[in-house]
Amino acid sequence: MSRQAASTERIANRTAGPPNFFPRMSALAAPTFQDMIRALEAYWADYGCVLMQPYHTELAAGTMNPATFLRSLGPRPWKTAYVEPVIRPLDGRYGENPYRFQHYFQYQVVIKPAPADVLDLYFASLEAIGIDLRRHDVRLVEDDWEQATLGAWGLGWEVWCDGMEITQWTYFQQLGGFDVELVPAEITYGLERLAMFLQGKGSAFDLEWAPGVTWGDVYRENERQWSAYNFELAPVEALVSRFGDYEDECRALLDRQLPLPAYDQVLKCSHTLNLLDARGAVSATERAAYIGRVRNLARAVAQVYLELEADAVAAA
């Protein structure tokens, strides 16, 4: 049997992935984790982005934040940037493996429509956090993005810096099964990888978060406890029933033309599925069926959202 059929197709949460790699480079004047975030915030705020804050429910990728997913739909321009903590239960390793976490950070930028110099803007942001583009080998390597749960796809790249993937870059083409009207550029920085690169650290735990405080000080225990919950204790039967409840709630909210709270139910479904996956409670076939259910919800939300957007634009 083909490995496609047999292997475990994980729920298609995308990002710049778990932070894996680091360069052996001098750590002279390297920014702390929080300084690096501040530099990105300053750079993109100066460009004119609306600085958003992380979303209030679990997301497996910054893309799923409504500030990206919903705002990328419809005819209205939009520029935003924000930090997103991403939650991927399956990727936890109890804080034992320095390359795998169930909770880490992305920096997400969306510019809609993408300006003609959008790549140059991005490269300048790398310089703003201290990467000398002439000293390093920075390259764009084909990476076509597709997320089944959101009915979304786009074309773009992984950005490599001396062989390390530091960013995922996508021109969205479809979201929720709908063609985008203005093509947005989505820039997703993997913050731990970037920081490991800049600080010359071999493990995310050793990253300097703030002077004298490491990433591990802040989050290692978090990894241990949440891995135990995700893999051993998350209540399977309750999760299965919650999934159905969220699904029903989403439909009910859509009937009332409330796509924003309805979309939160989609996110909760998606995270519930990821927890079930971490508990080993879904077979590959069942997972495909669950993904189909989430995708149908995401499509229905996108449709109602677009209807309201069209009304709002017409009224204006």
Partner 1 sequence: MPSLLLEIGCEELPAAACREAGAQLPPLAERQLGAAPTEVFVGPRRLAVFFDEVPERTPDEWVKGPPVALREKAAAGFAKKHGVAVNALVERDGFLGVARPGQALREVLPERLDAIVRGLSFSKSMRWDDSGIRFSRPVRWTLAKLDDDTVVGETTFGHRFTAAAVEIPHAREYAERLRGAGVEPDAEERRRSIVGGLDDIGGWSDPAGVLEEVVYLVESVQVLDGSFDERFLQLPERVVVTAMQSHQRYFPLGGNRFAFVANGGNPGVVRAGNENVLEGRLDDASFTFERDVELGIDALAERLGAITYFKGAGSFADKTERLQKLVAELGGGDATLEAARLAKADQASELVREFPDLEGYIGGQYARLAGYPEAVSAAIEEQYLPDASGGPLPQTEAGKVLAAADKLDALATSFSLGQKPSGSRDPYGLRRGAIGLVRLAVEGGLVVPRSLLPEEVREFVEERLEGLLAVPVEFVRAARTSAAPDLAAVARLAEELFAERETAAFDGVYTAYDRAHRLAGRAAEDAAPELDRALLKEEAERELAEGLARVEVDGDVRRALESGATLAPLMERFFDEVLVMDEDAAVRANRLRLLLDVRDVLGRLGDFSQIPR
Show the tokens assigned to 55: 């979303």
Q: What is the largest CA-CA distance in the chain?
A: 57
Sites for partner 1 among residues 17-56 (CB under 8 A): 20-25
What value, to the nearest 5°, has the Cα angle with vertex 306 and ends 305 and 312?
90
Contacts of 146 (CB under 8 A, 6+ apart): 12, 152, 153
178 binds partner 1 (CB under 8 A): no
Sites for partner 1 among residues 184-243 (CB under 8 A): 197, 202
Q: Minimum distance from CB of 20 to partner 1 (Å)? A: 5
Q: Minimum distance from CB of 100 to partner 1 (Å)? A: 7
Q: Minimum distance from CB of 133 to partner 1 (Å)? A: 4
| Contact predicate 239/274, CB 8 Å | no
Interatomic CA distance for residues 74 and 76, integer angstroms: 6
Stretch that binds partner 1, among 128-136, 261-269, 291-299, 304-312 (CB under 8 A): 128-136
Interatomic CA distance for residues 129 and 182, integer angstroms: 29
CA distances from 303 to 7, 34, 96, 241 (A): 33, 38, 43, 26
Amino acid of residue 158? E
What is the pattern of x (binds partner 1, CB under 8 A) and - over residues 267-286?
A: -------------x--xxxx
Stretch that binds partner 1, among 161-169, 208-216, 232-240, 249-257 (CB under 8 A): 161-169
5 binds partner 1 (CB under 8 A): yes
Q: Report the candidate in 254, 39, 234, 20 with the shortest Cα–Cα distance to residue 129.
A: 39
Alpha helices in 15-100 (DSSP H): 33-47, 66-69
293 binds partner 1 (CB under 8 A): no
Q: Minimum distance from CB of 261 to partner 1 (Å)? A: 32
311 binds partner 1 (CB under 8 A): no
Interatomic CA distance for residues 262 and 17, integer angstroms: 27
Of residues 202 and 244, the one with the C-beta less far from partner 1: 202
Which residues of the shown chain bind partner 1 in the complex (CB under 8 A)? 1-8, 20-25, 93, 96-100, 113-114, 116, 119, 123, 133-142, 144, 154-155, 157, 161-164, 171, 173, 183, 197, 202, 280, 283-286
